[in-house]
Amino acid sequence: ASVNKVNNKNCLALSRCREKSNGREFAAKFIKKRQSMASSRGVRREEIEREVDILRQIRHANIVTLHDVYENRTDVVLILELVSGGELFDFLAQKESLSEEEATQFIKQILEGVNYLHARKIAHFDLKPENIMLLDKNVPLPRIKLIDFGLAHKIEAGVEFKNIFGTPEFVAPEIVNYEPLGLEADMWSIGVITYILLSGASPFLGETKQDTLGNISDINYEFDEEFFSHTSELAKKFISQLLEKDKKLEKRLTIQDALNHPWIKVKLKAARITDSLHSLITFYFKDLHQSPAVTMMFLFFPSKITFLLGDDKIIIQVSDVLLTFELVFAQKEE
């Protein structure tokens, strides 16, 4: 097997391997075992066992699947589903543009994977772009796969869990401040990921690690016009409700809150319209101000807006008080 990636800091090596009986390919994750209590190299057995136990509980379309486990003198080897599409953010970096509708399709998949985990009281604790992969990038809508459960933890009622871990840019304030941890920490990370997905900028990144952690603890971020001038208020509201420091008062969105958020639900519905209607609404919202040939007449009703586009009558359902619209239907004006 050829080694594709090595991460010495975490004592990991990833290789591609093949099952001899049928030729099916998998990914082999080699975890270097800590050889003694006095050693700082390698991963402690209880940490490896926790990752394996959690992976064995998981069967979901948006989460990498564990197929088998082997062990030799120096390593524990996890045989995992081969996720060959690369990182989501690398894929998006190659696209000329990304609409909010497209963004919500990917965020929704992340949310569905996390929802599966949270329903089982499993916190990932390391959600970040590097751990959001594509099963196959050569399809119209690639499937998201959440990977790397090395920091994942089962949250038990009445059992306090504290730790300082994770990648600084993406950790929640309660991790920075060494407070009791729960499923809420994953929701914060999703907020950071969404911010980056829509802007290409990192909300809390400072010049140093300490600057970054300080920004997180102080909730020091903003929606810079340079990056968010074309982003909807509803999308920014979604992010803001995830980047809430006070999880105790339930201000931060839960996974169910996020899945039911208007930005996720409305945009997904809009993304499922036919190609012709998608082209029409894209033209309307992006290019209308540049098209003098378009004549509009707005008739405001409590729940809908009607306008005329040439001879076509378009009715748009108002789906949110912030005037995020869902295209319901278009019909020829008789």
- Phi, psi (degrees; rounded to nearest 5) at 276: -65, -45
Q: What is the 3-state secondary structure (H, E, C) of 198-238?
A: HHCCCCCCCCCHHHHHHHHHCCCCCCCHHHHCCCCHHHHHH
Cα–Cα distance, 10 to 51 (Å, whole number):
14
pLDDT at 333: 38
Asked if 90 is an active-site residue, the reply is no
Give per-residue pLDDT as tens, 52-67.
999 999 999 999 999 9
Predicted confidence (pLDDT) at residue 229 exceeds the cutoff of 60: yes
Task: Spot the catalytic one: 53, 68, 75, 126.
Answer: 126
- Indicate which CATH number applies to the domain containing 175: 1.10.510.10
Residues 54 and 192 reside in one and the same domain: no
Residues 246 and 144 reside in one and the same domain: yes
Query: What is the reported pTM?
Result: 0.76
Give per-residue pLDDT as tens, 306-326.
444 444 444 444 443 333 333
Residues 58 and 185 reside in one and the same domain: no
Cα–Cα distance, 220 to 128 (Å, whole number):
19
Give per-residue pLDDT as tens, 3-29.
344 343 445 678 899 988 898 999 999
pLDDT at 266: 79
User: Which residue range is the domain that position 8 belongs to?
Assistant: 3-81
Residues 147 and 126 reside in one and the same domain: yes
What one-letter code names the amino acid at 138?
N
| Among candidate residues 81, 68, 84, the one with its CA nearest the CA of residue 27 | 81
| Domain limit, last residue, from 41, 60, 81 | 81
Find tokens 């990498």 and name the residue: 64
Residues 69 and 165 reside in one and the same domain: no
| Domain limit, last residue, from 245, 267, 289 | 267
Residues 96 and 77 reside in one and the same domain: no
pLDDT at 12: 66
Residues 263 and 306 reside in one and the same domain: no
Cα–Cα distance, 87 to 170 (Å, whole number):
16
pLDDT at 120: 98
Residues 216 and 159 reside in one and the same domain: yes
- Indicate which CATH number applies to the domain containing 40: 3.30.200.20
Instruction: Tokens for 10, please give them.
Output: 């975490």
Residues 103 and 241 reside in one and the same domain: yes
| Domain limit, last residue, from 81, 99, 122 | 81
Q: What is the mean pLDDT of residues 76-97?
A: 89
Which of residues 309 and 71 earns the better pLDDT score?
71
Residues 93 and 186 reside in one and the same domain: yes
Residues 73 and 182 reside in one and the same domain: no
Residues 278 and 238 reside in one and the same domain: no
Q: What is the mean pLDDT of residues 256-284?
A: 61
Alpha-helix runs per DSSP H in the chain: 45-56, 88-93, 100-119, 173-176, 184-199, 209-217, 225-228, 233-242, 255-259, 262-271, 275-287
CB atoms within 10 A of CB 170: 28
Report how many domains make up the chain. 3
